[in-house]
């Protein structure tokens, strides 16, 4: 049995832990890959602070850096849902699985999008910085945002949404086969939630 829980990547540690305790899963799956786990979570598990990584100048890196900076300014932790889910799973001996496309592959794909889409992304980021993250995630219409993204950035949409959805669905089906009769709780961003749920049904 697979249960999907959609998040905005800003959920508090307490909220995440409350959901996991209520659901009591045998397996937890997260919208991460092994590479991102090693970057985001491993240092916290091993209780050390690595030297500050070089700033990522890829398109994905620029988007991520702007969101993280904004989150820090608002005293929020971007990716808190993924980070705290992993930490809870590791601390409580719950099987942890990663279902997303590897971030290095996503970066490679995003470097291939047309120049006009890259320019459009950078313009959207300028607008993005005019509102707080809480304002932007409150009462958000995910379906409308996805429709607009598909029209404005069709190639990026294919790479960031459609391709990753296929990978996530495939990985979840593998987990269902690997853990028969087990309850699998999967945390995904709301942009992936409905399509993945519908596909699994």
Which pLDDT score, from 0 to 100, does residue 79 have?
79
What value does the mean pLDDT of the chain take? 85
Residue by residue, DSSP assigns 155-198 as: HHHIIIIIIHHHHHHHHHHHHHHHSTT--EEEEEEHHHHHHHHH
pLDDT in tens, 153-189: 999 999 989 999 999 999 999 999 999 999 999 999 8
> Element (H or E) spanning 5, and its range?
strand 2-7
Which pLDDT score, from 0 to 100, does residue 140 have?
72
Residue 33 has pLDDT above 70, yes or no: yes
Distance CA 62, CA 60 (A): 6
What total of structural domains would you count in the chain? 1
In terms of residues, how long is the chain? 201
pTM of the model: 0.82
Name the residue range of residue 129's domain.
2-200
Q: For residue 138, count CB atoms less than 10 angstroms from its CB and return exposed for 0-12, middle for 13-18, buried for 19 or more.
A: exposed
Residue 46 has pLDDT above 50, yes or no: yes
Which pLDDT score, from 0 to 100, does residue 139 have?
65
Distance CA 143, CA 62 (A): 24
């Amino acid at each position: 049995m697979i249960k999907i829980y959609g998040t905005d990547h800003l959920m508090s540690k307490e909220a995440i832990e409350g959901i996991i305790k209520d659901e009591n899963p045998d397996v937890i799956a997260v919208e991460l890959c092994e590479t991102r786990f090693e970057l985001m979570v491993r240092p916290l598990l091993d209780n050390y602070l690595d030297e500050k990584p070089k700033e990522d100048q890829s398109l994905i890196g620029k988007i991520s850096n702007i969101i993280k900076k904004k989150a820090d300014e608002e005293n929020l932790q971007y990716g808190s849902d993924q980070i705290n889910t992993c930490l809870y799973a590791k601390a409580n001996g719950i099987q942890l699985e990663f279902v997303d496309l590897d971030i290095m592959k996503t970066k490679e794909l995003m470097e291939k999008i047309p120049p006009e889409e890259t320019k459009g992304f950078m313009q959207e980021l300028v607008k993005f910085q005019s509102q707080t993250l809480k304002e932007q995630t409150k009462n958000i219409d995910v379906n409308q945002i996805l429709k607009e993204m598909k029209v404005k950035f069709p190639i990026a949409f294919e790479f960031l949404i459609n391709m990753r959805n296929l990978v996530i669905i495939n990985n979840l089906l593998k987990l269902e086969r690997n853990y028969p009769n087990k309850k699998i709780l999967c945390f995904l961003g709301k942009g992936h939630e409905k399509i993945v749920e519908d596909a699994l049904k």
